[in-house]
Amino acid sequence: MPVRPGPEPQAVLGPLTSAAIFLTGTVETGGEQTARDLLADLAGLRRSVGFRAPEAALTCVAGIGAEIWDRLFTGPRPARLHPFTAIDGVRRRAVATPGDLLFHIRAQRQDLCFELAAQIMRRLGDRVRIRDEVSGFRYFDERDLLGFVDGTENPAGQAAAAAVLVGDQDPPFAGGSYVVVQKYLHDMRAWNELSVADQERVIGRTKLSNIELPDDAKPANSHVALTTITGPDGEQRQILRDNMPFGSPGTGEFGTYFIGYAADPAVTEEMLANMFTGRPPGNYDRVLDYSVPVTGCLFFVPPAGFLDDLPAAPAAGTAGSRPDGTLGIGDLRGGVR
């Protein structure tokens, strides 16, 4: 669907950067006003930090989860906002983990990302519990730690805006976007035991030249085959990925942080269903033989003007509280064994 000029989006359409930090947190009971204050001031914080090195193009995208929305705002909800749904797959489970707020911080310099993350945390204090924090980095020519170029099929220009930004289908939230995040850990020992040709058949692309394998050579259970989807009109349905490698060689942690923006979360969800349950069922994505997802969240990214002028807060005692006792991911450490 073409996107008409409308509300200014957050910086979801920015180019890939050399550094990023991903913060996912849950708002403690009583911390709602702290979260609102931070969201309203986020653009100013970003400007203050980024002013030190404007050439580094510091940005920060804020996403808001389904379970916190009615605790923060009155008025309508984004039409397709819902909690991330776990997928019980053939080889792996796409887990659903807690997440009320997402901060996707990126720049050409890691120090700026670090400083903005520190300023955000100073403002949130103990009112928001951080469930996951990942520092990503550019790896050679936009490759992941499996050695393949990531994000090759990202749309650009007007095609990117059409794929990513909400339009007339939900007018109160035009200019917004939905984002799914997953943290994958890789079994690098098992992966590196494969020949390059076998790795290429898992991914569906050549490793060195980054050329998609021809249809007669590309396995139906390759990553490329299963994440390419079409709509009823036969046109390819796309998302915008801004994935980043991360890791700690000393602890054996090697991973990819998947982050996919879309105007309709169903597009990303269909890709994940193909990966985990298979298309047809049972024909799952072979990359899951070597990669395990340990987080999974869905957020709505409102347009910039929404954060500049937040809807009124719910009256005291009217907003539902978030159930406690859910398992965090603070203890998920190390690589896949």
Q: What is the pLDDT of residue 323?
A: 38
DSSP 4-19: PS-SPP-GGGPPP-SE
The 3-class secondary structure across 96-130, one letter per residue, is CCCCCEEEEEEECCHHHHHHHHHHHHHHHHHHEEE
Catalytic residue among 150, 170, 264, 285: 150
- The Cα–Cα gap between 51 and 46 comes to 8
Domain boundaries, the chain: 11-308
**What are the residue ranges of helices labelled H in the chain?**
32-50, 66-72, 110-124, 157-164, 188-192, 196-203, 223-227, 265-276, 304-308
Half-sphere exposure at residue 330, Cβ-oriented, CA atoms within 13 angstroms: 8
Q: Do residues 261 and 160 touch, judged by C-beta distance below 8 A?
A: no
Q: What is the pLDDT of residue 318?
A: 60
Active-site annotation holds for 150: yes
Q: What is the pLDDT of residue 319?
A: 53
Non-local (6+) Cβ contacts of 109 within 8 A are 18, 19, 53, 56
pLDDT per position in the chain (337 positions), as tens?
444 456 899 999 988 999 999 999 999 999 999 999 999 999 999 999 999 999 999 999 999 999 999 999 999 999 999 999 999 999 999 999 999 999 999 999 999 999 999 999 999 999 999 999 999 999 999 999 999 999 888 999 999 999 999 999 999 999 999 999 999 999 999 999 999 999 999 999 999 999 999 999 999 999 999 999 998 888 899 999 999 999 999 999 999 999 999 999 999 999 999 999 999 999 999 999 999 999 999 999 999 999 999 999 998 766 544 433 333 333 333 333 2
Q: What is the pLDDT of residue 324?
A: 39
In this prediction the pTM is: 0.91
- The Cα–Cα gap between 184 and 157 comes to 29
